[in-house]
Chains A and B, each alone.
Chain A
Amino acid sequence: MRAAEGDVTLEAAPADAVPRPQATAAVRGARGAMFKAWLPALLALLLLDVTFNHWFWHIPKLTQASADYGYQFLTDARALSTTPKRADTPRVVAIGSSVAGSFDPGQVQGLLAAGGSAADVHRLLLPGIKPSDLRLFFDTDGADVAPDVVVLLLNPLDFLNPSFERDLKPQVRTVLPPAPTLRERGAFIPTMAGKFDLALASVSNLYRYHKLLRSSVEDHLRLAWRWLRGGPAAQGYGWYADGFTRQDFGVPLAAAGKGLEYYIDPAWLAQRGAVTLTFSTAAGLIERRSETTPGWKRFEVPPVAGAGPLLFVSADSAWSPRAAGQHDTRALGVRLRDVPSAAPGRDRSPVRYPPLERAHPDTLLRMNGEQGDAFVVRWQTLLDADSDFGRRFRAYREAKLAARNEPLTPTGEYAELERLVQGFSERGASVLLINNPESALLRWQYAGDPYYRSYLDFLAGVAARQPHTQFVDLGGVLPIDDFNDWHHVTYIGAIKLGPRYAALLKPLLRAAAPAQP
């Protein structure tokens, strides 16, 4: 053990000593070295910061929404704000918290188109976002989204928060504009650090969007790692032994050389309206096909130089046999006439940029596709477990049950919802308020109680008070086994809801004139 020592001799001069000429030169040298090292670094950071909005949003987001909801929300909102609206096509935007996962914009758009109502349908979803947050967003950064029709997907939990101004969740803070948030909620932010955080975010894009940039960097690094580890794709992927495929699959060109025969199931078209298939090889896109009639189809593979070993096929959607009344929870694409003999072991497509990363929704069924009593038993086991999930959903239940005999006071989030709807109405948009489905396992415990009735009455009242606004209660339209929990539907439940949403939107679209941004 020995005494430590510094690298540079200590300053010997007293505080106010006059520097000697040699010392002044040395000081100048040191100062110059410091500026040389730090000034370019600071300028580079400043440049990145001020030009952030000119480069960041051009970088493809590589992962699906659930990998980073805030990033997805801002990416979608920015695309809507910067893309001009088509003059003859109304823009529909469904917004809400995690319950808005029940609204598949592609499905609703396809069903509307199949019914003769062209619409440009989008969804802005962020778990935990409340009416007050949405109102702030659409009053500021989101003003240019300019929807013609707004679908607000609601759940009573969105309103059970008496101190909403103080409850600025991290993922919500990421998407809200910092300066207006600070102005509006500064008084409710308990710490100086919290206020300073928003102040800093309002002057620095790098700081404001650091989580998005971090996600993007990490996603690109992961993809690069996959690319480095993976060799050229030779095996096919993405089909089942019975010939059905996933939404995306690749078959060996040697097998498809004479032409690929595939079947479009009528249930698929019934669920989606139309299906678009994209055929490509390593050399690039061959053809994009829109299928509007069911039955067997054939795709002739043209000879292409540099095509590689696989023919890649991607559908714009998947369909659910279970939603069509069959006992099959898979999410499927086409059915192949000649099932390739190679083992379909690989589920992931080869590395491409940007990658086609889709979650296989049938793997996300928390209840494992159970139905009836088996579903109830599995749900109860999950709910009673000493896990984060169990604790969270027990807390949701307690919150709803605790309020069921309380009088409803239309303040807080209720008042914010009315302001939000009023804002849309004043900008000429039609608004569809939807009380989204909830599991009957919980709903029966409070559906007849005063608070819940007042909640529905309030939403109906908003619809009556605000022009171009409707309210629909879909609270009880799905069976329990279409839920992953109390209020989040499975992908099968979402597919079942699509036609209902489309039917509700159809009359609104006829009345909607595209609003001016």
Chain B
Amino acid sequence: MLFNSISFLIFLPIVLLGANGLPARWRNLFLLAASYVFYGVWDWRFLLLLIGTTGVDYFAALQIAATSLPQRRRAFLLLSLGTNLTVLGFFKYYDFFVQSGAALLSAIGLPASPWTLSVILPVGISFYTFQSMAYVIDVYRGELPAVRDLRNYALAVAYFPQLVAGPISRMGQLLPQLQRRARPTAERVQIGLGLMVVGFAKKVLIADLLAPEVDRIFTHPGQMTSGLLLKGAYCFALQIYGDFSGYSDIARGVSELLGVRLMKNFEQPYLSQSITEFWRRWHISLSSWLRDYLYIPLGGNRYGAWNTYRNLMLTMLIGGLWHGANWTFVAWGGLHGLYLAVERMLGIGRERHLGGGVLGWASSAARVVVTFHLATLAWIFFRAPSIGAAMTYLHGLVRFEHLGDVGPVPFVAGAAMLVIDLPQYLSGRHTAFLRLPWWVQSPLYAGVCLALILYGGSEVPFIYFQF
């Protein structure tokens, strides 16, 4: 079920009524059932997968907590990790690795006929398996107690606002809130509604309006001028940000209406002054997951410069692969790994705020521009259907002809995004709009709601649903 669908417009009020209005002992059970309905509407068969993963991790965590024998603890950890990674690997990567292996064998002259299954990818599998794995690892590390309350644990895994595209919440943050979940206060309702309005505006009024032009340009990059290719790259950078951060805002807003605070997933990433800072602001729940469960266990920055570069590169390559079974995502991750390693080598990446004085401001602005373009360059690999198509795109781009074809669209969309982001950046709060006087908020809400009514009927899927 999409947040921007008619079905969700029916679903949400019913869920809010039930989850906030039923007697306390029934509320979370109702919310769990609603979350399963939310997921099952897409394909009920994959509910079994979700429930199975939930059951295995619940059981493994309890067993780990119940014993102090290291071998037994490790066995149950491996059971959980093995189950999750097998499920993820089969549904997401089986065909990819079989085809890539066959291509490799063919390249060295060995005949190979790949046995692919055309496996359907269950929506949100990457998100909920990562969340569930993190919980078992935390219990194994002794950082979290094992949860005995199956109902609330299942709810935390299946919690519908974040189920299909994150944020990838940590159990330590989510479970206590679900266990103590109260009816939302007026303040939280206002925050929730405001976040939903901002999120829908980003999705429907920016991302969805840019989508047709992005599709047109990325479908036939060989037929486009450099100006149009530049336009396509800028527009996609804005589209994916509007789409994904819009989704996260809506998810957080909906969750506020249920009395649960989800973590921020984005903090104005395109105002970053380095790629290192970009990754502190882009898809925060994934980047922090990769840091805590991959980069640091690999050794982090504790074993010298070259090991640090290797760890950065490995983390970003796996982060790229997490997005999908395609070499384009690997290339995107690799490019970011390279950026991060180079920045670390050069000692870049500590700045946060725009500097003081004209020179400082200009220097910070220049860094923001450079960082945005580096990220945009990497997005070309992310969006292109194949490495070959990405190379065609880049080849056309560096011809630098007809640059005027870029037109006003990306700049207008960028300015619109800046109107949303800059107050948040300067105030450090996602809810900066709540500080505006009511006579400013009110026409803003009315205007955005009207615009959403006008443009909201197309039900364009969120990009991150495919991951």
Q: What is the interface of chain A, defined by CB distance below 8 A to chain B?
A: 1-8, 10-11, 13-17, 27, 30-31, 33-34, 36-42, 44-45, 48, 191-194, 196-197, 200, 206-207, 210-211, 213-214, 217
| Binding-face segment, B139-147, B152-160, B175-183 | B175-183
Residues in B with CB closer than 8 Å to A193 are 5-7, 10
Bound-state Cα–Cα, A10 to B288, Å: 21
Contact A30–B453 (Cβ < 8 Å)? no
Please determine whether A30 and B280 come into contact, CB atoms closer than 8 angstroms. no
CB distance from A341 to the nearest CB of B (A): 32
A residues less than 8 Å from B284 (CB atoms): 1, 4
B264 sits at the interface (CB 8 A): yes
Q: A30-B190, A196-B6 are in contact. List 4 more A-B contacts (CB 8 A).
A: A15-B180, A41-B445, A44-B443, A210-B453
Docked complex: B199-254 residues within 8 A CB-CB of A: none
Contact across chains for B450 and A48 when beta carbons are under 8 A apart: yes
The answer to whether the Cβ of B263 comes within 8 Å of any Cβ in the partner chain is yes
Residues of A contacting B185 in the complex (Cβ-Cβ under 8 angstroms)? 11, 27, 30
Q: Are B442 and A37 in contact (CB under 8 A)?
A: yes
Contact of B454 among A11, A13, A210 (CB under 8 A): A210
B443 close to A15 (CB less than 8 A):
no
Contact A206 B24 (CB under 8 A): no
List residues 287-335 of chain B with CB under 8 A from any CB of chain A: 287-288, 290-291
Q: Complex Cα distance A200/B456, Å?
A: 14
Question: Pick the contact of B455 from A11, A36, A214 — CB < 8 Å?
Answer: A214
Alpha-carbon distance A16/B431, docked complex (angstroms): 27
CB distance from A95 to the nearest CB of B (A): 26
Smallest beta-carbon distance B89→chain A, Å: 25
Point out the residues of chain B lying under 8 angstroms from A211, CB to CB. Answer: 457
Please tell me if the beta carbons of B449 and A15 are within 8 angstroms of each other in the complex.
no
Name 10 interchain pairs, CB-CB below 8 A, sorted by A.
Answer: A4-B284, A4-B288, A6-B263, A8-B431, A10-B177, A13-B182, A34-B189, A38-B442, A196-B6, A206-B450
Name A7's contact: one of B186, B280, B431, B438 (CB within 8 Å): B431
Q: Tell whether, in the assembled complex, residue A37 and residue B186 are in contact, meaning their CB atoms are under 8 Å apart.
A: no
Is B359's beta carbon under 8 Å from chain A? Answer: no
Write the chain B residue with the least CB distance to A212: B454
Q: Is the CB of A11 within 8 A of B188?
A: yes
Instruction: Tell me the complex Cα distance, A214–B284, Å.
Output: 36
**How far, in whole Å, are A197 and B456 apart by their CA atoms in the complex?**
12
Given contacts A4-B285, A197-B6, contact A37 B280 (CB under 8 A): no
Knowing A8-B191, A11-B259 are in contact, say whether A1-B279 is a contact too (CB < 8 A).
yes
- Pick the contact of B446 from A11, A15, A33, A44 — CB < 8 Å? A44
Chain B residues near A194 (CB, 8 Å)? 6
Query: Is the CB–CB distance between A41 and B265 below 8 Å?
Result: no
- Residues A1 and B280 in contact, CB atoms below 8 Å apart: yes
Interface centre among A2, A38, A192, A206 (most CB of B within 10 A): A38
| B10 touching A192, Cβ below 8 Å | yes
A206 touches B438 (CB 8 A): no
Q: CB within 8 Å of A: which of B430-455?
A: 430-431, 434, 438, 441-443, 445-446, 449-450, 453-455
Per the bound structure, the CA–CA distance linking A487 and B32 in Å amounts to 56
Cβ of B193 under 8 Å from chain A: yes
Question: Once the chains are docked, how many angstroms separate the CA of A197 from the CA of B9?
Answer: 10
- B442 x A5 contact (CB < 8 A): no
Tell me the B residues contacting A by CB distance below 8 Å.
5-7, 9-10, 24, 167, 177, 180-183, 185-191, 193, 259, 261, 263-265, 279-280, 284-285, 287-288, 290-291, 429-431, 434, 438, 441-443, 445-446, 449-450, 453-457
**B residues in contact with A34, CB < 8 Å:** 186-187, 189-190, 193
Min distance, Cβ A35 to any Cβ of chain B, angstroms:
8
Report the separation of the CA atoms of residues A5 and B262 in the bound assembly, to the nearest whole angstrom.
Answer: 9
Which A-chain residue is minimally distant from B276 (CB atoms)?
A: A1
Determine if A11 and B429 form an interchain contact, defined as CB atoms under 8 angstroms apart.
Answer: no
Contacts known (A30-B185, A211-B457); A38 close to B193, Cβ less than 8 A:
yes
User: Closest chain B residue to A1 by CB distance?
Assistant: B291
Query: Which residue from chain A places its CB closest to the CB of B27 in the assembled complex?
Result: A15
- Give the chain A neighbours of B288 by CB distance below 8 A: 1-4
For A2, list chain B residues within 8 Å (CB).
Answer: 280, 288
B291 contact set on A, CB distance < 8 A:
1
The answer to whether B6 touches A45, judged by C-beta atoms less than 8 angstroms apart, is no
Tell whether A37 pairs with B431 under 8 Å between CB atoms, given A4-B285, A193-B7, A211-B457.
no
Most A CB atoms within 10 A — which of B263, B279, B454? Answer: B454
Contact partners of A10 in chain B: CB under 8 A: 177, 261
Q: Are B453 and A206 in contact (CB under 8 A)?
A: yes
Compute how far the CA of A406 lies from the CA of B463 in the bound complex, rounded to whole angstroms.
46
Residues in chain B near residue A6, CB distance under 8 A:
261, 263-264
Is A37 a contact partner of B441 (Cβ separation < 8 A)? yes
Are B186 and A27 in contact, with the CB atoms below 8 A? yes
B450 pairs with A45, CB closer than 8 A = yes
The CA of A200 and the CA of B9, in the complex, are separated in Å by 10
State in angstroms the CA–CA spacing of A40 and B440 once bound together.
Answer: 11
Give which listed residue, A7, A13, A16, A40, contacts B191 with CB less than 8 A: A7
By beta carbon, the residue of chain A nearest B290 is A1
User: Closest CB of chain B to A169's CB: distance in Å?
Assistant: 14
- Return A23 CB to nearest CB of chain B, in Å: 9
Task: Give the docked Cα–Cα distance between A323 and B396 (Å).
Answer: 47
Residues of B within 8 A of A1 (CB): 279-280, 284, 287-288, 290-291
Q: Count chain A CB atoms within 10 A of each CB in B7, B291, B450 and give the residue with the most.
A: B450
Q: Which residues of B contact A3 (CB under 8 A)?
A: 263, 288
Smallest CB separation, A19 vs chain B (Å): 10
The 5 tightest CB contacts between A and B, nearest first, are: A31-B186, A36-B438, A41-B446, A4-B263, A30-B187
A27-B186 Cα distance, complex, nearest whole Å: 7
Q: Which of A15, A27, A39 contacts B24 (CB 8 A)?
A: A15
Per the bound structure, the CA–CA distance linking A31 and B456 in Å amounts to 28
B348 to chain A, nearest CB (A): 16
Asked if residues B9 and A196 are in contact (CB atoms below 8 Å), the reply is yes
Shortest CB–CB separation between residue B310 and chain A, in angstroms?
Answer: 18
Question: Chain B residue with minimal CB distance to A31?
Answer: B186
State in angstroms the CA–CA spacing of A192 and B187 once bound together. 33
Contact B186 A16 (CB under 8 A): no
B301 to chain A, nearest CB (A): 12
The winner among A34, A36, A210 for most chain B CB atoms within 10 A is A34
Q: Across the two chains, which residue of chain B brings its CB closest to A211?
A: B457
B152 → A minimal CB distance (Å): 13
B268 to chain A, nearest CB (A): 13
Chain B residues with CB under 8 A of A197 = 6
Shortest CB distance A203–B (Å)? 13
Q: How far is the CB of A314 from chain B (nearest CB, A)?
A: 32
Q: How close is A7's CB to chain B, nearest CB, in angstroms?
A: 5
> How far does the alpha carbon of A284 sit from the alpha carbon of B120 in the complex, in Å?
65
Separation of A237 and B98 alpha carbons in the complex (Å): 64
**Which of A4, A191, A211 lies at the interface centre, i.e. has the most chain B CB atoms within 10 A of its CB?**
A4
Looking at the assembled complex, report how far the CB atom of A436 sits from the nearest CB atom of chain B, in whole angstroms.
Answer: 32
Q: Are A45 and B449 in contact (CB under 8 A)?
A: yes
Is A214 touching B264 in the complex (CB atoms < 8 A)? Answer: no
A31 neighbours in B (Cβ, 8 Å): 186
Using Cβ atoms and an 8 Å threshold, which residues of chain B touch A38?
190, 193, 442, 445
| A33 with B9, Cβ < 8 A, contacts A13-B182, A213-B454 known | no
Q: How far is the CB of B60 from chain A (nearest CB, A)?
A: 25
Residue in A31, A40, A41, A42 with the greatest tally of chain B CB atoms within 10 Å? A41
Q: Which residues of A contact B264 (CB under 8 A)?
A: 4-6
Interchain CA distance A119-B209 in the complex, whole Å: 45
- Complex Cα distance, B186 from A158, in Å, reads 55
Return the chain B residue nearest A213 by Cβ: B454
The residue among B186, B287, B429, B434 with the most chain A CB atoms within 10 A of its own CB is B186
- Distance of A211 Cα from B458 Cα, bound (Å): 11
A197 CA to B10 CA, complexed, in Å: 10
| Given A7-B191, A10-B261, A37-B190, A217 contacting B454 (CB threshold 8 A) | yes
Contacts of B285 in A (CB 8 A): 4
Indicate if the CB atoms of A33 and B190 lie closer than 8 Å: yes
Give the CA-CA distance A193 to B11 in the complex, in Å: 10
Closest residue on chain A to residue B266 by CB atoms: A4
